[in-house]
Structures are given as structure tokens and as C-alpha cells.
Amino acid sequence: MEFFNIIPGQPRRTLFWGPVATAKTSLLGLGIQWVSRQKLRHLTFVPSILYKSGALQHSRTGITFPAVAFETLAQAEQLVNEQKPQVVFIEEIQFVEELPAFLDFLSSLNITVIMTGLNSRDDGQPWPVVRDIIHTCNVVQMPGICHMCGATNALYSRNVSGQSSGPDHVLLDTTKQQDHDIFRPTCYKCFFAK
């Protein structure tokens, strides 16, 4: 799969980056399937703030992949040291505060990293952790279709639920709703329209 450019021993960081509902998790799933068929050792990490089950589940298809929900960098590093993956997948990087240190650790072991992340919070500002690492990644921008005007260059996620996301810009009570019921892709013009 040339798109991921996975060559064991030649690490690379790829970030699928965009608003909600832009197939980022689908691409991560394709990557997981591909490395599994190639018999490359791999791990998938998900932030424990969103995932408690230890599985990455695609919101629309229900397809699941084994994943590790981790709370601390030490837990993730220990698992990497034990399993010695060639590729690490990380979902929803905007919620992994220790991501820069974890990426440095993975680079020191020549591990390829493929990640997904939102490009902005619901106030239009970039997520701090994404801003801190984006210059170190091969970025694949994933624009969506604006839910308001239909433009195909939607790069923002608008909160359409009416729920307040609070100062951390996280809605944790999502057990009954899918992300696309809470946030929708929005273009620049519609996002900043008064």
C-alpha cells in the first residue's frame, strides 16, 4: 500500500488530519488490515478518554480492530518494548497529551507511526498537541463536505448538538450519540458566519 509508505526499518509519521466525518478512521482501518496481511508487527493505541473497551470501532460500519486504551506514556512505552511493533497506529491524537514524547520514543526505535486527528477544536482553534507535532509528520488533509452549504472544502468541526463542550472542548457524554450527531464538518465561510 504505497499510500502509507510503510518500509520496515525506515520510520515515517503520517497524520490523517481533518474535521469529523472525513474517513480518517476508515483509512486507519485499511492500514491496520494491510499491515496484518503483510505480517508486520503492529499495535493500535486509542486514548482512554474516548475508548474503554480496548477496541477501535468505526462509527458507521461497526467494524472493530484490536486496540489498547492507555492512560499514561509509561503504559504505552512498556507495551511497545514488550511487543516490538514495526508499525504503531494512534487514533484521535488530539486527546493524547504526551504524544510528542511518545513519538520521540517511537522514532528512537525506528517505528513507523500512522495517526488520525481532528484539525481544530469546536472554537476553530488548533488542538495544542496537534500543533506541537504537525511539522514532524507527512500530513494528509481530509476535507469534508460542509453540512450547511455543501462546499467540499470543510476543514472545521461545528458542534451541532447544543451541548456545551466546556473549557477542554471535549464532550464526554457521547455514549448515546455518534460523533457525527454531535459535530459536523463545516467550511470556513459557514463556520465563522455570524
pLDDT at 71: 79
Q: Does residue 62 sit within a domain?
A: yes
If you average pLDDT over residues 72-80, what whole number do you get? 92
pLDDT at 167: 53
Q: Does residue 44 sit within a domain?
A: yes
Q: Does residue 101 sit within a domain?
A: yes
Number of structural domains the chain divides into: 1
Q: Does residue 95 sit within a domain?
A: yes
CB 123 within 8 A of CB 169: yes
CB 18 within 8 A of CB 155: yes
Q: Does residue 94 sit within a domain?
A: yes
> DSSP 3-state assignment of 89?
strand
Q: Does residue 123 sit within a domain?
A: yes
Q: Does residue 169 sit within a domain?
A: no
Q: Which residue has the cell 473549557?
A: 167
Indicate the pLDDT class of residue 2, thresholds 50, 70 and 90.
low
- Give the global pTM: 0.85
Q: Which range marks the domain in which residue 79 is found?
A: 13-142
Q: In terms of Cα–Cα distance, which of 52, 53, 31, 50 is closest to 42? A: 31
Residues sharing a CB contact under 8 Å with residue 20, sequence separation 6 or more, in sequence order: 118, 144, 157, 179, 180, 183, 184, 185
Of residues 176 and 77, more confidently modeled? 77
Whole-angstrom Cα distance, residue 100 to residue 164?
28
Whole-angstrom Cα distance, residue 34 to residue 2?
11
Written as nine digits, the cell of 113 is 507511526
Taking only the tens place, the pLDDT of each residue in 142-182 is 999 999 999 999 998 888 877 766 555 554 444 444 554 57
Q: To the nearest 10°, the Cα dihedral for 160, 163, 164, 170?
A: -80
Q: Does residue 80 sit within a domain?
A: yes
Residue 111 is part of a domain; what is its CATH number?
3.40.50.300
H or E element: which one contains 68? Answer: strand 68-70
Which range among 8-22, 117-131, 178-192 shows the weakest confidence by mean pLDDT? Answer: 178-192
